Chains A and B, each alone.
Chain A
Amino acid sequence: MDRTVIAVASGKGGTGKTTVSTNLARIAAMQELEVSYLDCDVEEPNGHIFLRPSIDNTTAVSVPVPVVDEQKCTACGKCKEICQYSAIALLGKTVLTFPNLCHGCGGCLLVCPTGAITETGRNVGVVEEGISGSVRFVHGILKIGEAMSPPLIRAVKDRILPQGISIVDSPPGTLCPVIQSVKGADYVVLVTEPTPFGLNDLILAVEMLRVLELPFGVVVNRADAGDEAVFDYCSSESIDVLARIPDDRRIAEAYSCGSLAVEALPEYASLFESLLKEITCVRL
């Protein structure tokens, strides 16, 4: 099978991204498909709780940050001007760098006319790789207190194989970490819940994906727990509802024990099978 990247995202947190991602990964493996699960929610990765992988490789990830040689610096200010993140300040003839604000774009290095800037690495976290049954497992763990997650997410996504299905479990929201996670996906699954909060954040996520021009559909979790507004919105915007996961206490109980729904409650296997089929056969 050619490479297929499915990103699972949501506006609101706690709607069920990891539930959908991990169950999709396991169901794909049960069908003997080559599948990888990549947890890009590097601030609080939790897919490992359900997939329980054995980790066989750990790699440190660093962001390149500038170091200024004061002997060569002429205080021209070009580095400060190009930096969009206020990571370089110029006060008179003193250049200050703020490594914790640096996104590692390398712009300052490029524009420095005297070659006064070199780069050094600043560690932001680790990528761990392993295996869970026949699901290939990758996740990133951001260093505690670190704010710069996109470079680590990029490092996780660099592990996407050129073949097979890759399921990218994204962080919640609509900011840089999410955009970094969904970028390049062949299809995005937006998981939501039928509540006013779920709807509000779903709309934000839909607007983000439309700007990124990525194809997407919606999975409604706890589908019978709230109101109809999410469904009305999807129908008025011609957005496909790919699956409805019922508000079943047993799913929550399995989740709380770190068990996958498709394993603890085999009757849900068909729901995730049809979702996977819907995405891979119908949508792509």
Chain B
Amino acid sequence: MQNLYYNITGEQTLTWDAPEGRPSAVTSVTVYPAGTGDDGTAEAATTGVGTVETTPDTTFDAASGDAQSDPTQLNLTATTGCAIGRKYLATNAAGETEFVECTEISSGDSISTRHPLRNDYASGDSLESTRISISVDDTWVADSTNISDDLDPNSGYRVRWVYVVGGLTKVHDSYFNLVRYQAGHSVTPEQMDAKRPGWLDSLPTDHIEDRGAVIVDDAYSDFRFDLHRRRIPAEMLRNRDVVNHMTILRALLNRSEDRAVRTGDVVGYEIDRENYFGALDGLIPDKTDIATDSGGAGGKVAALGIWEK
């Protein structure tokens, strides 16, 4: 789910990564309040028309992929527009496709991916962005009445994307909130290692180069869903330390879970699970400040007895 910043103008966009391939055209982009149907009144949240990201839209210039000594390396004609962390679509002459995550860029020469390619690519095969986007209207984004309902963990707005891929029209929905504060964590790898010494040195090989950033982000995402289960929007928490603490514990839990699945040894998993959910129950919601309205301020939420709910 995307979050737009309230009152930040001139730079924000709504985006959609088309799973079907690179769109040839964007037919329309419409924003609705989450509770409004497609036949209802649209929000004036966007300006202009939706566009397909220009770059990367390039080709391979040397054999790459599964049969090569380094199947993670994509030899490209150009690397313009490639960005670390973004996912792009590779397609060969046989029509085989796979999305790859860019982890390294050798400017003008090649990019590397987190995971090895599983198809073979020859010169002329394509690597392209499938992203379409549309600019956010400055007036709309600066209107505080448009700020999403922070008492609801679900999104405040729905986007209806209509575009064409391979001659066929596709319709998709995505969601976003207009928020005062971006939901997220600020956990550093060093904090992870301080909590569990050796964590950095034990990172999976594919996650060493970004020092486990994706793993921690994924843990935060899990934490966000755990809040959702408690009907708490993640962006409502007004205590950065608590957010980071819970993210760290969740990352450790995920790691232990992975090890338990592989080895059958659940001792560590049980310990981490108890730590995480114990902290979650103990800290949230009644001991951590939470925003109670769209103004941005936080406060304690009194715990209610079961007969009061």
Q: Do A and B bind each other?
A: no
